[in-house]
């Protein structure tokens, strides 16, 4: 279990040193000044209003990690909105996660300095551990709402803001916070969110351009019957979080078209497709993660939510885990897309025809509209597995096995070659290892 998860009674403990942890976007939490709270005795705690609706709301609120509603909100927008490709989804998950983590660190920086006691009494919902001002939950909510409104333009930004304000109102009405705790937290979080949005505006993701695959056999082209243009051809140039660039760990070229190895891998994919076992088919379908889902990066966020809930992580540590996970996934996307458009490697459905092996080959899964090498599923999954193995050591073998299963599922589905999977897993592991090295120096392990 991640260090600092909870005390022996099962209640998440405060990480009082969290205000000193290394941030991702903020250079210095002290620069986002939070004014002192009202003098002791000036602000009266609001008695808990024990209405049926408030009781229901607080019961739900008591079970949530501070980051949870916002991660779930991002997952929902990717599933239902217009963010349809893995690089864009991973970018969105990273931006909101980094904002929540930096807001949590900033809130604890000021909590340590003001050391204000909470309202006390008998609130309907348990007060967060540690000093109450500014509210860490409100800071997380304010930052997340700001960033979600920026990255998901197909959804009204005001709804995210209202969601944050309503959550703050519930804690005040439940007697768990002073009004000034929540207002200061929301204001701080919004300023953190604005800093993250400033970074987002210059990360290169707004650049658009068409890409033309090299001519001739042996290169990617749309699957038969499809007119799809290649997805996000410039994503390999987006700004990274821990890598120097998307090409830092660029894998060696894939097997050359027409070579014995290339032909052997193509035949292997065709044979697997002809002899799929029920279990292999089940694995392929389990890992589909196409449009209308949270996409491959979202899958690993869903897994991490389960681990974080079970571990009862403190607020700062839950925010930290999601930041680590999602910067790794975002860099995995950039690195995988760098390789895809550096090599323009074909998909099995292209190769089967170009080599004259099977003109009628139909893979189990729909062929994605971008080059094959390296496998995004493999890269995402291996990167995520390294983060989860670090954060939850007891689950290390399990998550690494799941990453391997994710990679091979695309061979079972007929849309990737073995080399795509092998090099994707290797690339993802290297990215995850870099993020873990950074995590070991962020101050939280001490």
Per-residue pLDDT of the chain (446 residues; tens, 9 = 90+): 454 344 333 334 558 899 999 999 999 999 999 999 999 888 877 666 667 677 677 767 766 899 999 999 999 999 999 999 999 999 999 999 999 999 999 999 999 999 999 998 777 777 788 999 999 999 999 999 999 999 999 999 999 999 999 999 888 988 889 999 999 999 999 999 999 999 999 999 998 877 888 988 899 999 998 888 999 999 999 999 999 999 999 999 999 999 999 999 999 999 999 999 999 999 999 999 877 889 999 999 999 999 999 999 999 999 999 999 999 999 999 999 999 999 999 999 999 999 999 999 999 999 999 999 999 999 999 999 999 999 999 999 999 999 999 999 999 999 999 999 999 999 999 999 999 999 999 999 97
Q: How far apart are the first and last CA of the chain?
A: 15
Dist. CA 373–CA 409, nearest whole Å: 15
Two tokens, residue 379:
């890269």
**What's the rounded Cα separation, in Å, for the pair 110 and 337?**
40
Instruction: Record the tokens describing residue 351, joined without a space.
Output: 């190769």
Q: Which long-range contacts (CB under 8 A, 24 or more apart) does 305-310 make?
A: 305/65, 305/68, 305/71, 305/72, 307/388, 307/391, 307/392, 307/395, 308/65, 309/65, 309/68
pLDDT at 1: 44
| Strand extents, DSSP E, 31-128 | none
CB 127 within 8 A of CB 174: no
Q: What is the length of the chain? A: 446
Biggest CA-to-CA distance, the chain? 83
Does residue 330 sit in helix, strand or coil?
Answer: helix
Residue 89 is encoded by which pair of tokens?
A: 């989804």
pLDDT at 152: 97
Task: Give CA–CA dist 60/93, Å, rounded.
Answer: 23
Angle between helices 52-62 and 157-173 (to 10 degrees): 100
**3-state DSSP helix/strand/coil % of the chain, to nearest 5:** 55, 0, 45
Domains of the chain (ranges, CATH numbers): 18-31+51-200 (1.10.606.20), 235-439 (1.10.606.20)
Tell me the C-alpha to C-alpha distance, in Å, between residue 62 and each of 34, 117, 320. Answer: 27, 20, 20
Distance CA 422, CA 172 (A): 52
Residue 16 CA from chain centroid, whole number: 26
Nearest CA among 235, 249, 184 for reference residue 205: 235
pTM: 0.95
Structure tokens at 17: 């040193």
Task: List Cβ neighbours of 75 (8 Å cut-off, separation of 6 or more).
Answer: 294, 298, 301, 302
- Please, how many CA atoms are within 13 Å of residue 115, restricted to the half-sphere of its CB? 4
Concatenating the DSSP letter of every residue in 185-231 gives: HHHHHHHHHHHHHHHHTTSSTT------PPSSTTS--PPTT--PPPS
CB 270 within 8 A of CB 294: no
- How many helices, marked H, and strands, marked E, lie in the chain? 14, 0
Q: Which residues are CB-contacts of 328 (< 8 A; sequence separation ≥ 6)?
A: 242, 383, 384, 386, 387, 431, 432, 435
Q: How far apart are CA 208 and CA 14, in angstroms?
A: 44
Query: Rounded to an integer, what distance in angstroms lies between the CA atom of residue 425 and that of residue 403?
Result: 8
Are the CB atoms for 24 and 444 separated by under 8 Å? Answer: no
| Contact status, residue 395 vs residue 380, Cβ threshold 8 Å | no
């Amino acid at each position: 279990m991640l260090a600092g998860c909870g005390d022996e009674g099962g209640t998440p403990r405060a990480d009082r040193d969290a205000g000193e942890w290394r941030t991702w976007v903020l250079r210095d939490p002290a620069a986002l000044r939070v004014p002192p709270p009202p003098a002791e005795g000036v602000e009266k705690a609001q008695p808990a209003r024990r209405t049926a609706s408030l009781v229901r709301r607080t019961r739900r609120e008591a079970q949530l990690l501070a980051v949870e509603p916002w991660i779930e909100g991002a997952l929902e927008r990717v599933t239902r909105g217009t963010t349809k490709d893995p690089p864009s989804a991973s970018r969105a998950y990273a931006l909101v996660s980094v904002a929540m983590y930096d807001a949590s660190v900033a809130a604890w920086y000021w909590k340590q300095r003001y050391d204000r006691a909470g309202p006390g009494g008998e609130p309907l919902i348990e007060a967060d551990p540690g000093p109450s001002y500014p509210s860490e939950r409100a800071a997380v909510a304010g930052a997340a709402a700001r960033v979600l409104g920026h990255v998901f333009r197909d959804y009204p930004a005001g709804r995210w803001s209202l969601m944050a304000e309503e959550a703050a109102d519930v804690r005040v009405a439940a007697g768990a916070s002073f009004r000034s705790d929540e207002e200061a937290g929301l204001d701080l979080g919004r300023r953190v969110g604005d800093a993250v949005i400033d970074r987002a505006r210059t990360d290169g993701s707004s650049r658009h351009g068409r890409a033309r695959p090299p001519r001739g056999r042996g290169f990617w082209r749309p699957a038969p019957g499809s007119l799809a243009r290649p997805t996000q051809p410039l994503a390999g140039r987006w700004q990274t979080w821990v890598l120097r660039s998307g090409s830092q760990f660029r894998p060696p070229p894939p097997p050359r078209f027409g070579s014995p190895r290339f032909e052997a891998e193509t035949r292997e994919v065709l044979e697997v497709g002809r002899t799929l076992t029920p279990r292999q088919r089940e694995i392929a379908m389990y890992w589909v993660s196409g449009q209308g889902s949270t996409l491959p990066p979202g899958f690993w966020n869903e897994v991490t939510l389960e681990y974080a809930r079970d571990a009862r992580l403190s607020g700062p540590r839950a925010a930290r885990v999601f930041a680590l996970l999602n910067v790794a996934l975002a860099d995995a996307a950039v690195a995988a897309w760098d390789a895809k458009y550096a090599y323009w490697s074909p998909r099995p459905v292209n190769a089967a025809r170009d080599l004259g092996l099977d003109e009628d080959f139909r893979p189990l899964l729909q062929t994605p509209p971008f080059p094959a090498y390296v496998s995004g599923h493999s890269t995402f999954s291996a990167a995520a597995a390294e983060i989860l193995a670090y954060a939850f050591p007891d689950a290390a073998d399990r998550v690494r096995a799941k990453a391997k299963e994710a990679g091979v599922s695309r061979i079972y589905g007929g849309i990737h070659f073995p080399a795509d999977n092998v090099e994707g897993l290797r690339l993802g592991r290297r990215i995850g290892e870099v993020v873990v090295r950074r995590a070991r120096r962020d101050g939280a392990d001490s």
